Amino acid sequence: MKKRKVGSSDLYVSELGLGCMSLPAELNSARSVLDEAIENGINYFDTADLYDKGTNEELIGAVLKEKRNDLIIATKAGNKWTPGKDGWEWDPSKKHIMSAVKDSLRRLQLDTIDLYQLHGGTMDDNAEETIEAFEALKTEGVIREYGISSIRPNVIQRFLENSSAVSVMMQYSLLDRRPEEYFPMIKQCGASVVTRGTIAKGLLTDESMERVTKMGGFASYSHADLQRTVQSLSEITTDFHAAALAFNLRQPVVASALIGSRTSEQLQQTLDAYRTPVDPKLLDELEKVTVQHGYEEHRVES
């Protein structure tokens, strides 16, 4: 599997990364997926302290500790669980991040986190304090690099322009092209994009027509527009999955496209799609059928 450089860093990640949120919670079942990924050249694994209240990090730590030297392990912070309360709270403070990283290191059984990411963000945050925390962790060698996971362009730009962040995780796909407007800004700031939602909740797979009937809409598409667009796409290609992956990876600013798999069989389907050659002209045709919407909120003020 090919690898790409993450921003201005010295991290090289596989073009497909495994988004670990969808891993089964049982150790042996998770191990089968993780081992299969490594055997097929995936070296980039993304989790968060939020997933299953840290259990997801523990699974990854238990399985991957023996293969540590060859892997890039990423996790996230900024959301915290409070005992006795439902749900979680947003806390991007330096105090919380400096504490959360210690818990993540313990659960992941690591001495250093390769890529540590702010898991969200708002314009009301004290961004200077948050960045100070990440910079301190990098200076101390606790993390190698850091980035942000967000779909808010104004939050992303402020974070990138005032830090040495190297990555932005964003929802991006053939059916959600809103991030394209900000790709030049991200590249100019020396960062790369890691895409999530690459197959658009299954709309860009063999189950596309079945899935679209159950959705009220997607991203900026109304239900009717989504149905028409998916129908048009299906008339151009019979392999949505391969086209979806190739579409994201043809963007130079994209370092890796995250995929999620609960089973080894699901993972192999995605790997087969990745290995399927896709004609660039076909991608051009598919792109013409879709619309490059813009974010309606959280826009960067010109």
Q: Are 218 and 224 in contact (CB under 8 A)?
A: no
If residue 57 lies in a helix (H) or strand (E), which one and from where to where?
helix 55-64
The answer to whether the beta carbons of residues 167 and 193 sit under 8 Å apart is yes
Residues 6+ apart with CB under 8 A from 68: 110
CA angle 144, 149, 154 (to 5 degrees): 115
Residues in CB range of 40: below 8 A, 6 or more apart? 1, 267, 271
Catalytic site residue 182?
no
Pair of tokens at residue 144: 């190698």
Going through the chain in order, the beta strands assigned E by DSSP cover 3-5, 12-14, 16-19, 44-46, 72-77, 79-81, 88-90, 113-119, 143-149, 167-171, 192-196, 217-218, 221-222, 254-259
Cross-strand partners of 119: 149
Contact assessment for residue 118 and residue 78, using Cβ atoms and an 8 Å cutoff: yes
**In angstroms, rounded to a whole number, what is the distance separating the alpha carbons of residues 9 and 18?**
20
The catalytically annotated residue of 44, 51, 146, 172 is: 51
Question: H or E stretch including 106?
Answer: helix 94-108
Bridge partners of 14, per DSSP, are 3
Q: What span, in angstroms and rounded, lies between the C-alpha atoms of 182 and 299? A: 10
Structural contact between residues 64 and 34, judged by C-beta atoms closer than 8 angstroms: yes
Query: What residues act catalytically?
Result: 51
